[in-house]
Every structure is written in C-alpha cells, then in structure tokens.
C-alpha cells in the first residue's frame, strides 16, 4: 500500500507555496492595519531558519525513515491494517500525544531545548514565526520520541505523514489576526489564542500549551493556560540576533561553555545539559518554575498590601 507513497511522505514541501501566499496575505493585512507585527530582518531570519530546516530535514528524513523502517520490519508488535478508519484515528491520537510530550520535554530538558529554542527566538508573532525551525533537532535525536509508533506497528511512512500534517496544522495558528474561535474549537484544538500563550515570555505563560493539533493534552496533563491579554513574545533572555547561525547554535554554545566551567562537580555539569533551561549552579539564572514562583509571590504580596 505504501510503496508509492514514499516520495509523497514529505508533504511539507508541497505546503511551502501555501505558506508563502498566506504570509503575504497576513503582511498585507498587517500593513493595512499598521499593526507592525512584521519586521524585515526578523522575517528574513525566520524564513532562512525554515529553509535550512527543510533542506536538512529532507536528507535527514531518509535516515530517520531508514531507522523506523528497520524497527518496523524487525521489532513491530502488531501489524496495523490502514484500510480501517479507526486505525487512522488511533494513530492520529498517538502521534499528537507523542508530539505533546516531545514538545513538553523540549521545554524542560536543556539538551532538547537547545534545538527548540530557535522556534521561540522571535519577539514577533506572525505566520513567518511558524517557519522559524531548528536545524539541529533531528541530529539531537528528537525523532526517537516517535520510535514507539513503528514498534506498535505504525508504518514509517504513516509516521512521516502524520508528523508533516501536525507541522502544517501548526502554521496557521501563528497569527494575531485571529483573536478567538468558536468555543468548541478552542476547547478541542490548538488555536492562535492558545499558541500565543505558548510563545510568551511572561512567567505565568511559560511552558504552557504544548499541544500540536489537539489542546486536550494540555488540559489532561494540566499545562493549559487560557490567553488573558496580549502576550509579550520571545524568550525570558532574548538572543537578540538576526543571524541564522547564532539563532541555530547559540544555546549549544552556551551549554558547552557552561559544561566546561572550571571547578564544577560532575552532577552540576550534567545539570547544565539535562537540567531545565535556566538552571545554574550558582543561581545566577532562573528556570521557568522559579520565575513563575517569583511572580506568584509578588502578586501575593501586592494583594496582601491592598487588603
Ligand atoms: Zn515550544
Ligand atoms: Zn509556535
């Protein structure tokens, strides 16, 4: 069934012209409204990151597909029949669930954050931000989160198709032009409103709304926060560079220099790689948990002063 689909699995390439058209459309609205959500240098950086990601991933996909194919051929527990609709529904949920955990862990383990930080490095929020993607994610082994799917009998091509679908879905939610959608959509799906929260650098919004397509995972695992007011976008400590090489490798560089800091214990060195982003041995930086706690305590004291 899937022999001829191999070439079609990288549907992301076919989506590129649509991405370009919609970016121009949003830019046109933006200019008309004088909303200024676009900035030339920022957009060029985002598009360069997207193009680099596409080039790297087109070749990396062959490698990942090879590994998944090997797992599927030799170690799969079941053989799923994709002529049944329920099988597709099951694997859709399974992939979206996997994306949620991959994304959540990408925010809580610095090793994975070093790749994912790229996507959060813009202080702007528009459709071009969606294309600001990592160059190092596949090399860092992010694809291994999906390896359980071929073990369960999901064909590697299907894994590829679902991953691309998720990424294409996540394109349109990177906009400020859509404020809120009907309630049942906001309840079930990841929407522009939910994802704006995810791109915020405000403590109350940090590490929230990790969903790919369905927001239900954030609701189930208690990482959901509704949008309340226009967020401030970017990182708690911004990279402040439009240079694609700096954007792609900055965090890897700081991991290396942290790791080789003089006089650290092995545990502290490991924490600089596998601890949460913002962790430091001398408390000179702050993790998102610490930032959130700080903000909550501040709000508490303001509240008690008022009383
Ligand atoms: Zn993220
Ligand atoms: Zn995003």
Q: Which ligand is nearest to the CA of 116?
A: 1
130 Cα to the center of ligand 2, angstroms:
5
Half-sphere exposure of residue 19: CA atoms within 13 angstroms, side-chain side: 23
Cα separation values, 214 from 97, 129, 168, 276, Å: 9, 20, 14, 25
169 Cα to the center of ligand 1, angstroms:
15
User: For 126-136, what is each residue's pLDDT tens digit?
Assistant: 999 999 999 99
Contact at 8 Å (CB) between 48 and 131? no
At 123, the pLDDT band (50, 70, 90 cuts) reads very high
Residue 261 to residue 241: CA distance in whole angstroms: 24
Query: 3-state class of 200 per DSSP?
Result: strand
- Closest Cα partner for 188 from 213, 208, 215, 210? 215
User: For 258-275, what is each residue's pLDDT tens digit?
Assistant: 999 999 999 999 999 999
206 Cα to the center of ligand 1, angstroms:
9
Contact at 8 Å (CB) between 54 and 13? yes
141 Cα to the center of ligand 1, angstroms:
17
- Closest Cα partner for 240 from 230, 252, 250? 250
Q: Which ligand is nearest to the CA of 218?
A: 1
100 Cα to the center of ligand 1, angstroms:
10
pLDDT at residue 296 greater than cutoff 80? yes
Alpha helices in 145-207 (DSSP H): 148-152, 156-172, 183-188, 192-198
By CB neighbour count within 10 A (0-12 exposed, 13-18 middle, 19+ buried), where does 282 fall? exposed
52 Cα to the center of ligand 1, angstroms:
19
- Mean pLDDT over each residue of the chain, to the nearest integer: 94
Residue 276 to residue 187: CA distance in whole angstroms: 29
Query: 3-state class of 190 per DSSP?
Result: coil
Alpha helices in 34-175 (DSSP H): 40-75, 85-108, 110-116, 127-130, 148-152, 156-172
pLDDT at residue 140 greater than cutoff 80? yes
Counts of helices then strands in the chain (DSSP H, E): 13, 0
pLDDT at residue 237 greater than cutoff 70? yes
Residue 237 Ramachandran class (φ > 0 left, ψ -120 to 50 alpha, else beta): beta
211 Cα to the center of ligand 2, angstroms:
10
Position 3 scores a pLDDT of 55
- pTM summary value: 0.94
Mean pLDDT across 39-49: 97
Q: Which ligand is nearest to the CA of 132?
A: 2
* 176, two tokens: 């400020």
User: For 68-88, what is each residue's pLDDT tens digit?
Assistant: 999 999 999 999 999 999 999
Phi, psi at 190, each rounded to 5°? -70, 130
Q: Which ligand is nearest to the CA of 206?
A: 1
209 Cα to the center of ligand 2, angstroms:
10
Please count the other Cβ atoms lying within 10 Å of the Cβ belonging to residue 303.
9
In the chain, domain spans: 3-220
């Amino acid at each position: 069934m899937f022999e001829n689909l191999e070439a079609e699995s990288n549907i992301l390439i076919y989506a590129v012209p649509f991405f370009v058209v919609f970016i121009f459309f949003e830019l046109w609205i933006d200019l008309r409204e004088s909303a200024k959500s676009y900035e030339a240098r920022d957009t060029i950086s985002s598009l360069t990151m997207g193009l680099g990601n596409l080039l790297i991933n087109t070749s990396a996909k062959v490698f990942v597909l090879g590994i998944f194919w090997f797992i599927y051929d030799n170690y799969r527990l079941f053989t799923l029949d994709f002529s049944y609709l329920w099988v597709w529904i099951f694997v859709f949920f399974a992939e979206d669930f996997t994306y949620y955990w991959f994304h959540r862990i990408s925010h809580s383990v610095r090793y994975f954050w070093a790749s994912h930080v790229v996507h959060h490095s813009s202080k702007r929020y528009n459709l071009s931000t969606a294309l600001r993607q990592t160059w190092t994610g596949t090399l860092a082994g992010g694809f291994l989160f999906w390896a359980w799917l071929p073990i369960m009998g999901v064909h590697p091509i299907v894994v590829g198709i679902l991953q691309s679908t998720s990424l294409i879905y996540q394109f349109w939610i990177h906009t400020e032009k859509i404020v809120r959608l009907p309630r049942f959509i906001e309840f079930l799906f990841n929407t522009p409103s939910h994802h704006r929260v995810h791109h915020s650098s405000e403590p109350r919004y940090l590490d929230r709304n990790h969903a790919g397509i369905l927001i239900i995972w954030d609701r189930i695992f208690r990482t959901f926060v509704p949008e309340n007011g226009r967020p401030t976008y970017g990182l708690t400590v911004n990279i402040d560079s439009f240079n694609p090489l700096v954007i792609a490798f900055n965090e890897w560089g700081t991991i290396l220099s942290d790791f080789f800091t003089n006089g650290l214990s092995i545990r502290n060195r490991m924490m600089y790689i596998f601890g949460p982003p913002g962790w430091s041995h001398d408390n000179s930086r702050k993790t998102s948990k610490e930032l959130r706690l700080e903000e909550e305590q501040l709000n508490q004291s303001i509240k008690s002063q008022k009383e």
